[in-house]
């Protein structure tokens, strides 16, 4: 795996709201942000949104407690899922397994992914981030066209109905990349297989030169644009104490009721997934993907 030593810059408070031509952060932050438990400075939220708009990555240097992280995440939009990211024996999920996690985006229901670090690994645990828009922009137009016509199927959480999304969209709603190497096209074809292989090749090449490593310290938080920034990490020691709290934030649902938060069964108290859920097939594909990489 590439040795990446660059660190992303820390979000500076007070940054003005950027309006990039390709962005999809078209819903401005609330003037006053307040949850039932914690008031959050509107300026801080605007700064985070500005960084997400500009670079796709926003980091809070802390110190921030979990409640503060959740309050900011809630201020950004609607938190539609929370999960605990830590190693758990016998759980077939990248969230809970020590093996390396390849670059991917999460389910498109998440416009923004946020992590808050409770405990970090003593030596590793850095996340690897890559701007997928830049990678797609360098692909030839034929491959881009095919990626618009290539759809992947995934469920947002265990037991949820799977949904289908194009790998690449750059229409009115802004650019969106949806890619995970373990997902297969809904309608396979040689043309789509070639386009996905070309995208994977380009991602690997770009990750060697342009990816960022972010190793959160306890009390730090990070949010990324899930439609733009791919994330992954290297292998962890199987005894790693690393523990992150992850949220999925929907921006389009920000004006809806703040209910329906789904706590991932994959990382819930039981640590077991529901049998027969659409995610089981996804987990099997991830396992097959892992074995091919070894």
**Binding stretches for Fe ion (CB under 5 A):** 106
Paired sense of beta strands 262-263 and 78-86, if any:
parallel
CB of 83 to Fe ion, least distance (A): 10
CB of 141 to Fe ion, least distance (A): 29
Count of beta carbons in the 10 Å neighbourhood of residue 240: 18
d(CA 256, CA 77): 9
Contact 220, 64 (CB under 8 A): yes
Is the Cβ of residue 29 or residue 102 nearer to Fe ion in the bound state? 102
CB-count burial class (<10 Å; 0-12, 13-18, 19+) for 42: middle
Is the Cβ of residue 86 or residue 106 nearer to Fe ion in the bound state? 106
CB of 167 to Fe ion, least distance (A): 16
d(CA 35, CA 195): 44
Is the Cβ of residue 81 or residue 106 nearer to Fe ion in the bound state? 106
CB of 271 to Fe ion, least distance (A): 18
Is the Cβ of residue 72 or residue 127 nearer to Fe ion in the bound state? 127
Q: Which of 117, 107, 126, 133 is nearest to 53 (CA)?
A: 133
Q: Which residue is nearest to Fe ion (CB)?
A: 106
Chain position carrying tokens 């329906």: 260
Is the Cβ of residue 45 or residue 244 nearer to Fe ion in the bound state? 244
Is the Cβ of residue 144 or residue 248 nearer to Fe ion in the bound state? 248
CB of 55 to Fe ion, least distance (A): 19
CB of 97 to Fe ion, least distance (A): 12
Is the Cβ of residue 58 or residue 110 nearer to Fe ion in the bound state? 110
Give the three-class secondary structure for 185. Answer: strand
Cis peptide upstream of residue 63 (ω within 30 degrees of 0) = yes
Nearby residues of 84 by Cβ (< 8 Å), 6 or more positions away: 95, 243, 244, 245, 246, 264, 267
Tokens standing for residue 252:
């389009």
Phi, psi of 114 (to 5 degrees): -125, 145
Is the Cβ of residue 50 or residue 113 nearer to Fe ion in the bound state? 113
- Helix, strand, coil in percent for the chain, rounding step 5: 30, 25, 45
CB of 91 to Fe ion, least distance (A): 14
Paired sense of beta strands 221-225 and 57-60, if any:
antiparallel
CB of 107 to Fe ion, least distance (A): 9
């Amino acid at each position: 795996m590439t040795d990446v030593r660059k660190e992303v810059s820390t979000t500076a408070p007070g940054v003005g709201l950027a309006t990039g031509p390709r962005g999809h952060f078209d819903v401005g932050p609330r003037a006053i942000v307040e949850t039932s438990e914690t008031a959050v400075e509107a300026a801080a939220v605007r700064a985070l949104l500005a960084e997400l708009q500009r670079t796709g990555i926003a980091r809070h240097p802390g110190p921030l407690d979990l409640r503060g992280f959740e309050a900011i995440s809630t201020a950004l939009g609607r938190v539609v899922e929370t999960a605990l990211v830590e190693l758990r024996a016998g759980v077939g999920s990248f969230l809970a397994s020590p093996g390396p996690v390849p670059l991917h985006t999460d389910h498109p229901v998440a416009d923004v992914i946020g992590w808050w670090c409770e405990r970090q690994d003593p030596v590793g645990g850095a996340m690897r981030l890559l701007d997928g828009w830049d990678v797609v922009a360098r692909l030839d137009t034929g491959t881009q066209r095919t990626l618009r016509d290539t759809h992947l199927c995934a469920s947002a959480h265990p037991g949820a109905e799977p949904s289908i999304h194009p790998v690449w969209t750059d229409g009115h709603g802004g650019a969106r990349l949806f890619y995970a190497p373990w997902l297969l096209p809904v309608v396979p074809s040689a043309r789509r297989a070639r386009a996905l292989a070309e995208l994977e090749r380009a991602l690997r090449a770009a990750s060697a030169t342009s990816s960022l490593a972010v190793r959160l310290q306890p009390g730090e938080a990070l949010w990324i644009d899930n439609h733009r920034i791919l994330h992954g990490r290297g292998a962890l020691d199987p005894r790693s104490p690393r523990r992150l709290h992850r949220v999925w934030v929907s921006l389009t649902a920000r004006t809806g009721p703040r209910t329906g938060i789904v706590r991932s069964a994959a990382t819930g108290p039981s640590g077991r997934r529901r049998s027969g859920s659409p995610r089981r097939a996804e987990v099997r594909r991830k396992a097959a993907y892992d074995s091919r990489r070894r």
